[in-house]
Amino acid sequence: MGIFDFLSGEFIDVIHWTDNTRDTMVWRFEREGHEIKYGAKLTVREGQAAVFVHEGQLADVFTPGLYMLETNNMPIMTTLQHWDHGFKSPFKSEIYYVNTTRFNDLKWGTKNPIICRDPEFGPVRLRAFGTYSIKVSDPAKFLVEIVGTDGEFTMDEISFQIRNILVQEFSRTIARAGIPVMDMAANTRELGQLVGKEIAAQLAEYGLAMPELYIENISLPPAVEEVMDKRSSMGVIGNLNEYMQFQAAEALGRDGAGAAAIQAGLGAGLGMQIGNAAAQQAGPWGARSASPAAVPPPPPPVEHVWHVAENGQTRGPYSKAALGRMATDGALTRESMVWTPGQDGWMRAEDVSELAQLFTVLPPPPPPPGA
């Protein structure tokens, strides 16, 4: 190495960083001996911050722009005056670049089910997953608390810790929210905002911020979901006897001989009805036979439970008898918004045929004067 190359290397120093990795959060500018020259040019681009560490202490944080570094670490002077150090300066300075852009589409999820108490189903186990974004809000604090002297720090090195904090706060929030399981899908945005608010203070201690948090899904155990599907199917089917007859007719109609079999079955059924009628008319010695066996009564109707919306909150579930007492006491009016599983959205109580009769014992409100 010639003397001209040596002097050129000492006089010219341009510090900058461009990142192509998409996951690097902190990168240290490498110089031989960590010597930053007096008057070096420091370039900080948008989406970056530069932390200057001089003689082991954090000196300054540079935001986007072009800077001229003026420090007491001057390699030319120290190299010429300190022969005993082998042309190496004993004063060290370092530049750490911090990526301040958002790291998006980061995954989170619950490893184990969360046990919470549902007002309708009782204790239930829930699982949830989603995505979030993270960014460095305080480069100096992030460097001191998390990175230390690591020359290259990536998102993978802290994502596990962030996921643990996120799942912990989500479990606490979902347990305290008191939102019914059936209504959680409509409140994922509000739940995400609550969790983000709770986690903000803890992340700020690391110099981090969470601009976005999304809850993509909240699910029940497979066995519970299967029971709920069967319950929904029963509500759709309605009359079970008619549904079974319909299925039998569908099965007969699938092959070519189905129509003939149906006609033959109708004819046989008609003949059996005529024979039974004749047997009833003429028993032994011409007397009328006993009446046929009574048809079993249909199954009792399914008792609905109702939720009542008031001042932005949901109360219930209540039985129809409980709603009747509430209507008598004035706690339930014709304008009250009610909902039951299987109903398409919230409806006024007077618009639900099953509940409208609760208000027939009371007179409707009087017409306005002059009407």
The pair of structure tokens assigned to 22 is: 């998409």
Rounded average pLDDT over 62-67: 91
Q: Reading across the β-sheet that carries 313-318, which strands appear in turn?
A: 313-318, 306-310, 337-339, 347-348
Which ranges constitute the DSSP H helices of 85-221?
139-142, 156-177, 188-204
106: alpha, beta or left, given left = phi > 0 and alpha = psi -120 to 50? beta
Comparing 41 with 72, which gets the higher pLDDT? 41
**Spatial distance between the Cα atoms of 71 and 55, rounded to a whole number of angstroms:** 11
The verdict on 76 and 156 lying in the same domain is: no
The pair of structure tokens assigned to 332 is: 């339930």
Structural domain boundaries, residue 87 = 3-99
The verdict on 143 and 184 lying in the same domain is: yes
Residue 272 in domain: no
75: alpha, beta or left, given left = phi > 0 and alpha = psi -120 to 50? alpha
Rounded average pLDDT over 316-331: 83
Q: Which of 224, 239, 269 is at the close of a domain?
A: 224
Most confident of 113-117, 138-142, 235-239, 304-308: 138-142
Q: Which of 64, 81, 99 is at the close of a domain?
A: 99
Q: What is the pLDDT of residues 8-23, one digit of tens each?
A: 444 447 889 998 888 9
Q: What is the pLDDT of residues 205-264, one digit of tens each?
A: 999 999 999 999 888 878 777 777 776 666 666 666 766 776 677 676 665 555 555 555
The verdict on 85 and 173 lying in the same domain is: no
The verdict on 130 and 216 lying in the same domain is: yes
The verdict on 36 and 136 lying in the same domain is: no
pTM score, whole prediction: 0.55
Residue 1: the pLDDT is: 47
The verdict on 95 and 108 lying in the same domain is: no
Comparing 200 with 300, which gets the higher pLDDT? 200
Comparing 318 with 289, which gets the higher pLDDT? 318
87: alpha, beta or left, given left = phi > 0 and alpha = psi -120 to 50? left
**Spatial distance between the Cα atoms of 137 and 209, rounded to a whole number of angstroms:** 6
Q: What is the pLDDT of residues 156-176, one digit of tens each?
A: 999 999 999 999 988 888 888
Residue 137: the pLDDT is: 95
CATH code of the domain in which 112 resides: 3.30.479.30
Instruction: Note the Cα 140 to chain centre separation in Å.
Output: 32
46-60, 117-131, 249-263, 293-307: segment of lowest average pLDDT: 249-263
* 3-class DSSP assignment, residue 210: strand
**Spatial distance between the Cα atoms of 28 and 24, rounded to a whole number of angstroms:** 11
- Assess whether pLDDT exceeds 70 at residue 364: no
Q: Which of 187, 203, 224 is at the close of a domain?
A: 224
Question: Among candidates 135, 109, 127, 115, which has minimal Cα distance to 214?
Answer: 109
Residue 192 in domain: yes
Q: Domain total for the chain?
A: 3
- Assess whether pLDDT exceeds 50 at residue 294: yes
The verdict on 87 and 27 lying in the same domain is: yes
Residue 90: the pLDDT is: 46
133-137, 150-154, 267-271, 347-351: segment of lowest average pLDDT: 267-271
Q: How far is CA 95 from CA 65, 109, 121, in A?
A: 15, 36, 58
Mean pLDDT of the chain: 77
Residue 367 in domain: no
- Assess whether pLDDT exceeds 80 at residue 91: no
CATH code of the domain in which 320 resides: 3.30.1490
